Structure 1
Amino acid sequence: MQQILIVEDDVKIAQILIDYLRASEYGVTHLENGQDALDLLRRQSFDLVLLDLMLPGLDGLEVCKGVRMFSQVPIIMITARIDEIDRLLGLEMGADDYVCKPFSPREVVARVKAHLRRTGKLSAPPPAQGFTVERDALRILVDGAALPLTPVEFRLLAEMIEHPGRVYSRMQLLDLLHEDQRDTSDRAVDSHVKNIRKKISARLPDTDCLQSVYGVGYRFEMP
């Protein structure tokens, strides 16, 4: 049985999540305090963490930052603050995804299942098409055939393929554009993504594996 840790100080919201997750046959542990959660995660392994942003003790961002120093457990942030800065900061601290209050409990359960599947915690059928990253050769293969990528396009796509489902902000992707870190506009990210999509589409028509996340950036979903 997969084990989920819920860190949420709103008891009513936590209970709803507990009920839905247990109905989906997950084991659930609930904590209300950020420091308590960080301490528990140092002692005990979980398959996924649902982490509220605003917590007593340590807030969710600090908990997430602390967890990433010793664990890569999937973390889904829960927040009532919808401004873009908090969303991006949460992702840059190492969160894998976020949901905004008010949310549908069914959607949260669906996201939990999706992240567990990506990390190999649930059985899933193999993808219809295979992407292979060859970093030494600066190549990405689709079913054995190399995509005609520029070095910048290779860096962007390779990073996202190696972390499917993770949302990347434009600023995070911008850091990958140029190794010399010279200033560029985040519009350059959109331009490169557009070109990458065209090249993937030429090999995999009607496949939308490089997806936009409104107000944040992009994620790669295996077809």
Structure 2
Amino acid sequence: MANEKILIIEDDKDIRKILKDYLTNEEFIVSCCDNGGDAIEVFKSFNPDIIVLDIMLPEVDGIEICRIIRISSMVPIIMLSAKSGDIDKILSLGVGADDYITKPFSPMEIIARIKAHIRRYKTFSNPANNILDKKKFGDLTIDSKSYKLSFKDREIHLTSREFEIIDFLSGYPNQVFSKEQLYDNVWGMSDIGELNTVAVYVKRIREKLAKHNINYIRTVWGVWYKWEEDLDE
């Protein structure tokens, strides 16, 4: 894994330098932005493979930047925050972030997560890795090649991570998976993950599907999930 482009949006000069140095040593191509006001333009011109995005930024905060990017792109986004509470985490995941890391952090942990996200994103988005490009459940269509979920030919907008969860579960109808198994198979880094993240994502997915009266994801005994295909919509 080398030459992937990483955009760091962080106003702390020391953190930007540390991350850039470590990532450059790993042969990534790194671009930096130090404020939210310029972030979207830098994102469009640089076209990164992954974004490391601080929440607290001058002019425009990271939550809003993530929301704007998600309108047009499924690029993986890792949020950084100086706060350890759940509010920022829930907000970040709610607007489409793929991961959340609290400061202070280890640069090697950031690198590990970046590599995992890039690897997972490439695996899911590469049609050669998908036995079935499209899966149909009644009027619901899951297109693994284009990362699109549609119901009666109308697209249901999901983040890349939300889609990957649906794509994985629907590939094994009626089979139950624990939070640990789901995190390991979708995030690909269970040793450094937080399992409550799984519940947050499943809740967001259910809310989006419920608008169309779809309920394929079932909870079993409170800690397991399965895609139950034989349901009336």
For Structure 1 versus Structure 2, the TM-score category normalised by the shorter chain is 0.5 to 0.7
Cα deviation code 1:148-180 (max 9, x no counterpart) = 57xxx9xxx9xx79x932954163155268567
1:172 aligns with 2:173: no
1:106 aligns with 2:138: no
1:147 aligns with 2:190: no
After superposition, the CA RMSD in angstroms is 3.8
**Percent identity for Structure 1 against Structure 2:** 35
TM-score of the superposed pair, with normalisation by structure 2: 0.62
Question: What does residue 191 of structure 1 align with?
Answer: 221
Does the aligned pair in 1 maintain the 2:6–2:52 contact within 8 Å?
yes
Question: What does residue 80 of structure 1 align with?
Answer: 82
The alpha-carbon deviation at position 191 of structure 1 amounts to 3.5
Question: What does residue 49 of structure 2 align with?
Answer: 47
Does the aligned pair in 2 maintain the 1:141–1:147 contact within 8 Å?
no
Q: Give the direction of change, closer, same or farther, for the CA distance of 1:97–1:50 in structure 2 (3 Å limit).
A: same
How far apart are the structure 1 equivalents of 2:134 and 2:122? 19
Report which of the two structures shows the higher radius of gyration computed on alpha carbons: 1
3-state SS of 2:84 partner? coil
Q: How many residues matched?
A: 175
Unpaired stretches in structure 2, ≥5 consecutive residues: 141-168, 189-196, 229-233
The alpha-carbon deviation at position 107 of structure 1 amounts to 0.4
The alpha-carbon deviation at position 89 of structure 1 amounts to 0.7
3-state SS of 2:71 partner? coil
Q: Give the direction of change, closer, same or farther, for the CA distance of 1:33–1:148 in structure 2 (3 Å limit).
A: closer
Does the aligned pair in 2 maintain the 1:82–1:100 contact within 8 Å?
yes
How far apart are the structure 1 equivalents of 2:37 and 2:205? 31
How far apart are the structure 2 equivalents of 1:66 and 1:72? 11
Matches within 5 A, 1:1-223: 1-120=3-122, 134-136=135-137, 140-142=170-172, 147=174, 164-165=186-187, 167-168=197-198, 169=200, 171-175=203-207, 191=221, 193-194=223-224, 196=226
Unpaired stretches in structure 1, ≥5 consecutive residues: 182-187, 200-223
The alpha-carbon deviation at position 104 of structure 1 amounts to 0.6
Q: Which amino acid in the other structure matches residue 174 of structure 2?
A: L
